[in-house]
Amino acid sequence: MRKLIIFTLILSVVALSCKPELKTKKQTPQFEDLRLFSAAIKQFKSINNYVDSTSNKLSPAKIELGKTLYYDTKLSPKGNNSCNSCHNLNTYGVDNLPFSPGDEGGLGGRNSPTTLNASLHFLQFWDGRAKDVEEQAGKPILNPVEMNIPNEQFLIDRISGIDYYKDLFKQAFPNDPNPINYTNIRLAIAAFERTLLTPSAFDNFLNEDEHALTAQQKRGLDIFINTGCTTCHNGIAIGGNSFQKFGAIQDYKKYTKSKGTDNGLFDLTKDELDKDMFKTPSLRNVEHTYPYFHDGSVKSLKDAINIMAKVQLNKDLSNTEIEDIESFLKSLSGNVSEYAKTPPAILGNDVTPKNKRK
């Protein structure tokens, strides 16, 4: 009997030791500076929280078609432009020019924003005239100053005569009896653009990795929040989610030396209150997406930080504060995938504008 009792106790101990751990409620991270972390998660969201489109379901075939269209110079009549011409994925989705040349050589009227993380924005373009990347993707193709395709049917006819596009569209839209149409062109390009997300060190910080940021970057984040920059630059894109008047406190042209006049949202609405109103740009990858502002008037990130503090917040930052904020902003840079940066082999020479071919 005694042996039976001892054996039973041993089995009980073994059973308890093998019992799976109960999941406990997530604990508050033990940050050295919990105040800074708490302030950050109130203002920003990690890119890991991104919820994809419900109206444009992604698939490998649709993404591959979109990538092919994105790089194809046949989306311009003379073959001088592709989406990648102005939104070069090897230079963080921009061309680093104040204004971008179109198929005919003329310059656009506003700085080309990056396509990286564009799907995180609440609207598209500086004036918000497109509701999402699906709508945005079709507009530059038909713009006479940009890609200059004369009409939708022109492009449909051109693409319909290419064997590999017949296959790619059929694979991307298997339930569509006539898959080569302008709506599907837009959806495919947008599907590819929805993959252009660039998680960064700052996302790791928001995901409770205290050591993802350097000491200087943490100081810069603290200054960024306390100076009031988060009034406009917040959320998952660190911007891109509101309209703001550029030059809220002072005339920005005094500091940017901008030439010409751009009335911003006013050009669409004709409402006097919308003069100089522009969509706030995202600050993700901002160290690489110069020159800055809607007119590409400022090349230096330090200068852009200084100007924004003056004209938007009426603040004079010290050189040290500017350097610390710049360091923080560099933590918003992520990597573009090799897949995205590598042009489709199927296009051959059609990824290089004709005016640059030897």
> Would you name the residues annotated as active-site residues?
146
Peptide bond into 291 cis (omega under 30): yes
Q: How far apart, in whole angstroms, are the C-alpha atoms of residue 263 and residue 249?
A: 17
* The 3-state secondary structure of 205-244, one letter per residue: HHCCCHHHCCHHHHHHHHHHHHHCHHHCCCECCCCCCCEE
The encoded tokens of residue 32 equal 């050295």
Answer yes or no: are the C-beta atoms of 130 and 124 closer than 8 Å: yes
Q: How far apart, in whole angstroms, are the C-alpha atoms of residue 112 and residue 101?
A: 10
CA dihedral 107, 111, 116, 122 (to 10 degrees): -120
SS3 content of the chain, % helix, strand, coil (to 5): 45, 5, 50
For residue 173, the tally of other CB atoms under 10 A from its CB is 21
Q: How far apart, in whole angstroms, are the C-alpha atoms of residue 188 and residue 193?
A: 9
Question: What are the residues whose beta carbons fall under 8 Å from the beta carbon of 111, sequence distance 6 or more?
Answer: 97, 98, 99, 126, 291, 292, 293, 294, 295, 296
Q: How far apart, in whole angstroms, are the C-alpha atoms of residue 333 and residue 288?
A: 8
Write the CA distances from 169 to 83, 194, 320, integer angstroms: 18, 18, 53
The encoded tokens of residue 64 equal 């591959």
Q: Using the structure block, give the residue that is written with the tokens 């809607």.
A: 294
Helices 319-330 and 215-227: crossing angle, nearest 10°? 110
Q: How far apart, in whole angstroms, are the C-alpha atoms of residue 48 and residue 322?
A: 29
Q: How far is CA 232 from the centre of its chain?
A: 16
